[in-house]
A and B are shown apart, each in its own frame.
Chain A
């Protein structure tokens, strides 16, 4: 079970938009619309931000959106804010019936 591939870091200025990619295979991202995204601040537990590729929990800001094309899912953060600085992880259901996580992306707000 190999981790999904994410860029190690992405940065942007306040107010800008950034996109984080998450690349898997036809055994995970490409075969299921069950990709979720998690935000993790230092020393904290992960927090659900997006589920089922593009659905957003009610308590999550609408500045966060998700999409998928083929074996690659993406998380976009628009109107970047200082509080968005954190690590982000994607996750996908797999044909092994257990989820796989992405390698993680550190988002820096310049």
Chain B
């Protein structure tokens, strides 16, 4: 079964650092991009950025550039989203999702599966 399993909920104070994870299994981890998606309380989905674990090529949504760092560890099939100094406005659910852009010999574009989400709460 293809799945992404994310790390558990976190409660942090402003200014603290944090690294959350997303572990893939059931497929060739290095052959698919992984996206990180933010969902603030009661709000919609926003692309944070994507990473290709095969070579760690990364693209950020300009709105998040410099605010977070996305990385990957091929040896453990895990991608990470990290902050060096959290703000209250980082409070949100964060999802990872596998991006499929080539399937059955054709280019395509979709996100599946999704991780279960990691709730990050930043409060003093």
Chain A residues with CB under 8 Å of chain B are: 1, 3, 32, 34, 36, 38, 45-48, 51-52, 57, 89, 91, 93, 96-104
Contact = CB atoms under 8 A, between A and B. Distances in A.
Contact of A99 (B35, B60, B95, B114): B35
Contacts of A51: 108-110
Given A51-B109, A51-B110, A52-B109, A46 B95 contact: yes
B66 interface: no
Given A36-B111, A97-B59, 16 more contacts: A1-B61, A1-B62, A34-B109, A38-B45, A45-B117, A46-B97, A51-B109, A51-B110, A57-B112, A91-B111, A98-B50, A98-B60, A99-B35, A101-B47, A104-B43, A104-B45
Contacts of A38: 45, 111
Contact of B45 (A1, A34, A47, A101): A101
B46 interface: yes
Interface of B is mostly: strand
Contacts, number: 65
Contacts of A93: 109
Nearest to B99: A99
B69 interface: no
B114 A52 contact: no
A47 B112 CA distance: 7
Contacts of A52: 108-110
Nearest to B62: A1
Nearest to B109: A34
B63 interface: yes
Contact of A98 (B44, B59, B112, B116): B59
